Structure 1
Amino acid sequence: MKIATLQFAPRLGDVEGNIRRADDLLIRGKDGLRLESMRPEVLVLPELAFSGYNFPSLEAIKPFLEPQRTGPTAKWAQETAKRLKCKVCVGYPEIESTASSSSSSLEHGDSNSSSGDKYFNSLLVVDENGSILHNYRKRFLYYTDETWASEGEAERSFYTFNFDRENNPSEQNKIQATFGICMDINPYKFEVPFTDWEFANRVIDSRSPLVIISMAWLTLLDKEELAALSDQPDMDTFQYWIKRFWPLLEKKMEHDGDVDGDTTGSAKKVIIVFANRAGEEPGAEGKDPARYAGTSAVVAVTQKPNPSSAGASSASDFDVKILCWDIMGAAEEGLCFADTKADPKLVFGMAPRSDSD
């Protein structure tokens, strides 16, 4: 599968300017190649890609809330998907207008208005024909989201894609995908145990071979440290993301099929797309600016049965590796691209645990 993410540094509240910046970067392409010639099957953009993220209140973000089907993000996604002939996933701040308020709209401490309108941090998914396929709403809210958004539903995390195979256009390959937005991969409100692994277990239980995560992930690095990294990834952030998928390294994968159309192999893999943003946004009321970690990446966790483990029944019977096809720098803007049929750039093996671990 050919997967692209667009990492860039949106300016808070500059929707038109951010769309122009995204278009410019897509036209620029990667390594001298235009994105059209790279023929991606999926393009993923960051969380709240065109509005920016660090709004301090409902009143601040209200001018940028969009209806699901008619807002500037939907229009851009539809036009871009048709032009690139690929599926597009892009984050946006959603408003859902309702006739009247309900008691449920005030659950979980959300910030919906008394008019009955509901607001969500959402991810729109559009197909090659410009049709809206899916709309995922962020399930686990970060404290910034809690000032204006409602929690989404876990049931919306999943969608089954149809992909035409390049070697046989008449054949469609159904791929179950699990969607997440940034904080979704963390423990709920940072209150449940770290090792509950809610999101990773959802991936395993749903038997999804494809995971798409749209992000506005912050970094603890200061401005000088980010500048020093330049085009190098924030490896502390990258390692933390991988750690949040630890169950994929320890439990046997049970999904059928493969994102690349292989239904016969004994090896299993789950592709994980981390689509983050870069740059910084001003803090509210004298607070420090919000700085973002960049480091967008396309990786896979793979399990291949060990020759000595006939009838392998757990991940300990498999050779487990982490493959990485591409990873962006922390402060870099541009395309992260992977062809998961090609050899990865990086391969990480699992070291055996010692008795003291």
Structure 2
Amino acid sequence: MAFTGYVFENKESIMPYLEDAETGTTVQWAKAQALRLHAFVMVGYPQIIKGNPDKYYNSVCFIGRNSDLIETYQKTHLYTTDENWADEGPGFKSIYVPGLGKVGFGICMDLNPYRFEADFMAFEFARFHLQQQTDIILCSMAWLSSVSNNQINYWCRRLLPLYYDVYGNDEESQTDRQNLGANGNRKVLFVVANRTGTEKGTNFCGTSCVIYISSQKQISPLNILNDHEETVMVVDTSHTLQNL
């Protein structure tokens, strides 16, 4: 929600900023940037789907190089701030995109256990993308600052199943173990764009990053910004994901 801000108290307060997935201000901006840069563009916004009743979502649009809308993803795991106004999305997504491979989407709380009530070791988000054999995970964030200030470590820990065997002996775990070892050395890029600064007394932690993950128990940052840095990060990944 880069253009609207993130901290809304209720449905009434966010109503003026709601957009549809095709003609909304944010989506139109993203399409224009995709054409200008001949690039894929992803950006978050508060989405409305008209109906009876209307549905509100914390969403991202993913735009192709020719300004076509490839995908809309609605946040699956809601944070308390989202629960003030947003509906829960239908589920995680991973799609094949020519030129990129399998692309998965996430928004902030998606990385956490569902409502902070699910088992921490369930790893819902990571296991989904392991099963889908996702190559690139793109996450739009409004992640809050914390006392421990170790967001990168925490995000990587939440992706543990992508690079380490954490499973038991049940059938589902056996399938996950097979997916972890599929095609030898699985490689994944984890890309985070997280906001900095303060909104209505809420502080955000920045630390946007691109992390390389390998199923051979390897995880390493390709670039990380600091907690207050606002810039354009450019990372050459051409030698990282040669399996695409």
With normalisation by structure 2, the TM-score equals 0.88
Distance 1:139 1:322, change over 3 A: same
1:290 corresponds, among 192, 197, 202, to 202
Shift of 1:52: 0.5
State the partner residue of 1:61. 14
Which digits, 9 at most, give the CA deviation of each residue in 1:287-325, with x for residues without a partner? xx110010000011113xxxxxxxxxxxxxx4x211211
| Correspondence for 2:191 among 273, 288, 295 | 273
1:126–1:134 Cα contact (<8 Å) kept:
yes
Give the 5 Å matches for 1:82-161: 82-98=35-51, 101=52, 116-154=53-91, 157-161=93-97
Residues in 2 aligned to 1:158 and 1:334: alpha-carbon distance in whole angstroms: 28
Q: Find the counterpart in structure 2 of residue 208 from structure 1.
A: 134
Taking the aligned partners of 1:138 and 1:254, their CA distance within structure 2 comes to 29
Question: Pairwise CA RMSD of aligned residues?
Answer: 1.6
SS of residue matched to 1:336: coil
- Name the SS for the 2:21 alignment partner: coil
Retained in 1: the 8 A contact 2:30–2:41? yes
Q: CA deviation at 1:79?
A: 0.3
| One of 94, 98, 102 as aligned partner of 1:162 | 98
2:241 is equivalent to residue 323 of structure 1: no
1:337 partner SS: coil
AA aligned to 2:134 is S
Decide whether aligned partners of structure 1 residues 66 and 97 sit closer, same or farther in structure 2, where only a CA change above 3 A counts. Answer: same
Question: How far apart, CA to CA, are the structure 2 residues paired with 1:255 and 1:80?
Answer: 36
Cα deviation for residue 123 of structure 1 reads: 0.6
Q: Rate the CA distance shift 1:321–1:145 in 2: closer, same or farther, 3 A.
A: same
Does the 8 Å CA contact 1:197/1:245 hold for their aligned counterparts? Answer: yes
Q: How far apart, in 1, do the equivalents of 2:108 and 2:181 lie?
A: 25
Distance change in 2, residues 1:242/1:157 (3 Å): same
- Matches of 1:121 and 1:254, distance apart in 2: 34
CA distance in 1, matches of 2:4, 2:181: 38
Which residue, 179, 185, 190 being the options, matches 2:111? 185
User: How far apart in 2 are the matches of 1:120 and 1:136?
Assistant: 9
Query: Aligned-pair distance for 1:337?
Result: 2.2
Corresponding residue to 1:175 among 101, 116, 128: 101
User: Does the CA contact (< 8 Å) of 2:11 and 2:85 recur in 1?
Assistant: yes
In the other structure, the counterpart of 1:242 is 156
Counterpart residue number, 2:123: 197
Deviation of residue 268 (structure 1)?
2.3
Given residue 159 of structure 1, which amino acid in structure 2 is its aligned partner?
I
Aligned residues: 227
Q: Secondary structure at the match of 2:32?
A: helix
- Residues 94 and 129 of structure 2 are in contact (CA less than 8 Å); yes or no, is this contact kept in structure 1? no
Tell me the amino acid that sits aligned with residue 83 of structure 2: E
Q: CA deviation at 1:255?
A: 5.3
Measured in 1, the distance between the counterparts of 2:107 and 2:182 equals: 22
- Quote the offset at 1:239 in angstroms: 0.6
Conserved 8 A contact 1:81-1:126: yes
Q: Structure 1: state its 5+ residue gaps.
A: 1-47, 102-115, 164-173, 222-233, 257-265, 283-288, 304-317, 344-357
Contact 1:269 1:302 in 2 (8 A): yes
Q: How many Å separate the matches in 2 of 1:336 and 1:254?
A: 31
Report Cα offsets for 1:63-107 as digits up to 9, x if no partner.
111111111101100000000101101000001112xx2xxxxxx
CA distance in 2, matches of 1:235, 1:211: 22
Match for 2:27: what amino acid? Answer: A
Give me the whole-angstrom Cα distance separating, in 1, the residues matched to 2:182 and 2:111.
Answer: 20
Higher relative contact order (CA 8 A, sep 6+): 1
Runs of 5+ unmatched residues, structure 2: 166-176
Q: Look at both structures and tell me which one has the larger radius of gyration over its CA atoms.
A: 1
Matched, 1:335 2:224: no
Is the CA contact (8 Å cut-off) linking 1:212 and 1:272 kept in structure 2?
yes
